[in-house]
Amino acid sequence: MTGVVPDGGSLVSLGLVPAGPVSFLDGVALVDHHCHSVMADDLDRPGFESLLTEGTGPAPGLSAFDSRLGFSVRRWCSPVLGLPPHAPAEDYVARRAELGAEAVSRAMLRAAGSGVLLVDHGFAADGLLDLDALSEAAGLPVGEVVRLEAVAEQVADAGVDAAGFGDAVAAEVARRTDPARRPLPVACKTVLAYRAGLDVDPRRPDPAAVAAAADTWLARRARDRAPLRDPVLLRHGLWAGLDTGLPLQLHTGFGDADEDLHRADPALLVGLARLVEPLGVPLMLLHTYPYHRQAAWLAQVFSCVYTDVSLAVPYVGSRAPEVIAEMLELAPFGKVLYASDAYGLPELHLLGALRFRAALGGLLEHLCATDEFSPADAERVATMIARDNALRIYPRIPA
């Protein structure tokens, strides 16, 4: 069992990495380069469980607590609320209600050990703390990730004609990413994978095509608030984001039932990566699982591509070391970043950080024990992924 990461076997079950927190990254404040805010109000049990899954909630008669993620909440979040590890789900939800959302959020966010949060606040923001309140609750600086599809929809709703839509979107993206704004804009993000799939023509569309597509979509938007799904307009927004020069985050891999998973494979972005490579704008592939090996290849062959396994880490629980090990098969160590992708529940901020520290730290401890890595190199790699890669890639990190 020396010197190998066994295929298919659990590093945890084999006793090679610890299931819980390890001391490896102690003292390193994580840069969470992609996350969301947390619910402002108290949650009843159905409300809490609906945020423990990427689906709409558990199937009838089932509980979302009966999952890797639910068990992780009971094991690792219970002590933060003063409960014993593995507290029953009903005790957990009752204790949460007793303490109140504000106290729970402060405790969980501060226990995560992050140093800065880069937050996408453009998705289902109703009911979430605004970014100033999130910053206050976490006791951390917060940067804003500007969601390009949300900007385009706001431009449409503000009233613009089809001929002026393209320029209006570009101007609004430039305004929303102005460095004088607060919270500080740090990146743009596209959910092209959700809206049309990543298998679209990656080229910048010409203005006539944008105007023609806007003519159709603006009429539908005015009639029934149709979300932006037109591939030409999505590509226009994506290129407006690239024009800012800020890193462009792209949703890839698993998410909720609104996406066709096979069209979220980051390997479909190879055409875009070829176009962006000479521009030098960083493409940040988010989530990536179960296509994290494809993302790792892209990160190796394109200097502009970076990647993470954010959302998967808390979801796969104690299997996270294998997922990170698979990412690090091909991905250069300077191309992988930490993110929690937490949404709604402050527990997900804590679990994302805790699982990441345990999984990466444990994996590196194993690589040291088998003399693949020296301890000094392992420390350096851990710090790169946890913090330093983000500090190097993002030109603006709020302090």
Closest contact distance (angstroms) between CB of 224 and Zn ion is 26
Compose the 243-262 pattern: x for residues touching Zn ion by CB under 5 A, - for all others: --------------------
Q: Looking at beta carbons only, is 195 or 366 nearer to Zn ion?
A: 195
Q: Looking at beta carbons only, is 144 or 341 nearer to Zn ion?
A: 341
Stretch binding Zn ion (CB under 5 A), from 225-233, 319-327, 334-342, 356-364: 334-342
Q: Looking at beta carbons only, is 117 or 211 nearer to Zn ion?
A: 117
Q: Looking at beta carbons only, is 189 or 366 nearer to Zn ion?
A: 189
Stretch binding Zn ion (CB under 5 A), from 164-172, 185-193, 322-330, 336-344: 336-344
Q: Looking at beta carbons only, is 291 or 373 nearer to Zn ion?
A: 291
Closest contact distance (angstroms) between CB of 49 and Zn ion is 19
Q: Looking at beta carbons only, is 49 or 341 nearer to Zn ion?
A: 341
Stretch binding Zn ion (CB under 5 A), from 102-110, 202-210, 214-222, 341-349: 341-349
Closest contact distance (angstroms) between CB of 206 and Zn ion is 31
Q: Looking at beta carbons only, is 199 or 341 nearer to Zn ion?
A: 341
In the chain the first and final C-alpha atoms are separated, in Å, by 44
The one among 341, 350, 357, 358 contacting Zn ion by CB under 5 A: 341
Q: Does 308 bind Zn ion (CB under 5 A)?
A: no
Look at residues 46, 106, 115 and name the one whose alpha carbon lies nearest to residue 80: 106
Closest contact distance (angstroms) between CB of 302 and Zn ion is 22
Residues 276-305 binding Zn ion (CB under 5 A) are none
Q: Looking at beta carbons only, is 197 or 344 nearer to Zn ion?
A: 344
Instruction: Tokens for 239, please give them.
Output: 């290129």
Q: Looking at beta carbons only, is 205 or 255 nearer to Zn ion?
A: 255
Closest contact distance (angstroms) between CB of 347 and Zn ion is 16
Minimal CB distance residue for Zn ion? 341
Closest contact distance (angstroms) between CB of 34 and Zn ion is 6
Closest contact distance (angstroms) between CB of 112 and Zn ion is 16
Tokens 């972005």 belong to which residue?
Answer: 269
Closest contact distance (angstroms) between CB of 292 and Zn ion is 15
Q: Looking at beta carbons only, is 81 or 348 nearer to Zn ion?
A: 348
Spell out the SS3 assignment of the chain.
Answer: CCCCCCCCCCCCCCCCCCCCCCCCCCCCCEEEEEECCEECCCCCHHHHHHCCCCCCCCCCCCCCCCCHHHHHHHHHHHHHHCCCCCCCHHHHHHHHHHHCHHHHHHHHHHHCCEEEEEEECCCCCCCECCHHHHHHHHCCCEEEEEEHHHHHHHHHHHCCCHHHHHHHHHHHHHHHCCCCCCCEEEEEEECHHHHCCCCCCCCCCCHHHHHHHHHHHHHHHHHHCCCCCCHHHHHHHHHHHHHCCCCEEEEECCCCCCCCHHHHCHHHHHHHHHHHHHHCCCEEEEECCCCHHHHHHHHHHCCCEEECCCCHHHHCHHHHHHHHHHHHHHCCHHHECCCCCCCECHHHHHHHHHHHHHHHHHHHHHHHHCCCCCHHHHHHHHHHHHHHHHHHHCCCCCC
Residues in contact with Zn ion, counted by CB under 5 A, come to a total of 1
Stretch binding Zn ion (CB under 5 A), from 6-14, 20-28, 291-299, 340-348: 340-348
CB neighbours (10 Å) of residue 74?
Answer: 18
CA atoms of 137 and 132, how far apart (whole Å): 9
Q: ∠ CA(178), CA(181), CA(186), 5° rounding? A: 65
Closest contact distance (angstroms) between CB of 102 and Zn ion is 23
Closest contact distance (angstroms) between CB of 357 and Zn ion is 20
Q: ∠ CA(75), CA(78), CA(81), 5° rounding? A: 165
Catalog residues that contact Zn ion under the rule CB under 5 A: 341
